[in-house]
Amino acid sequence: MADNILDREDIKESHMVPIKDGKFLFDCHPAVPCFTQCCSDLNLALTPYDVLRLKNRLEISSGEFLDHHTTDEVKHNCGLPVVMFRMNNDSRRNCPFLDPNGCSVYEDRPGSCRLYPVARAAKYIGGKVKERHFLVKEPHCLGFQQDREWTGQEWMKDQGLDIYNEMNTLWMNINQGMGERRDPPPITGDKVKMYFMSCYNLDMFRKFVFESTLLKSFQIDRKTIARIHADEMELLKFAFRWIAFAIFGKQTMKVKPALRKAKRRSY
């Protein structure tokens, strides 16, 4: 699978440089002259976990967040939708969460905002995640002139990226089979809708799980049901498991034996 860089989509390859000797100098704060300049005119893709954190921060439903703050585009040749963050419709295309003091949703900002100016390239090799880190040195950024030193891992920890990387890696994993195929069949129709709902509209996915026959049809233990009912992060992990089964044909779910027998008798 090709490397997946969870970062701003408009970054040019010429701005990507290796982290020399594993360390770099960088800091970002209001005293840096370019403070918040990187919060404008972005083509920013949101991950499912980004949407979960932001909709909870704003105390609105997934559907409301998607309607007011995103657009969706088909970004892959297999037809999978990607949610794009909607910038303000003004001359600078500012982030709608930018205020005079900086980011108003800072504690729940998207993973790519946390990661910047580091880019993470990750792929599965032998069932394990392998990572590489790069610096994104854009001309306008004066943060590199500051004297605070970091390693890539120190930056990840400081920016609270562990949980983002964990959830984004799970999401990447369910899609990797499509990326490895030269000409993957397109995902269309109801499968596109299912993928979009399961990844991004977690409130609607919750209704699908608990108000349909899904839990009665598959072998799902009581502890799992209790976890996904009480914890949205566990529900999102379950959504990834469901997508892997329902859309990509992976054996992540098991139909209850009684239903399998009934299906065989109907043939």
Alpha-carbon torsion, ordered 6, 7, 11, 13, to 10 deg: -40
Provide the residue ranges of all domains of the chain, joining segments of one domain with +.
4-175, 187-265
Per-run averaged pLDDT (10 residues), the chain, 267 residues: 40 70 91 92 93 98 97 71 92 92 95 90 68 84 94 91 92 69 67 94 98 94 97 98 92 82 47
From first CA to last CA, the distance across the chain in angstroms is 39
- Report pLDDT for 2: 33
| Sign of the torsion angle spanned by Cα atoms 159, 164, 166, 172 | negative
- Report pLDDT for 20: 79
- Report pLDDT for 204: 98
- Provide the total of helices (H) and of strands (E) in the chain, helices listed first: 11, 11
- Report pLDDT for 16: 80
- Report pLDDT for 78: 63
The CA distance from 165 to 40, in Å, is: 24
Give me the amino acid identity at 238: F
- Report pLDDT for 55: 98
- Report pLDDT for 189: 84
Crossing angle of helices 232-246/48-57, nearest 10°?
A: 150
Q: Is residue 150 within 8 Å of 224, Cβ to Cβ?
A: no
- Report pLDDT for 242: 96
- Report pLDDT for 76: 58
Asked whether the whole model's pTM tops 0.85, one would answer yes
Residues 6+ apart with CB under 8 A from 191: 246, 247
- Report pLDDT for 265: 46
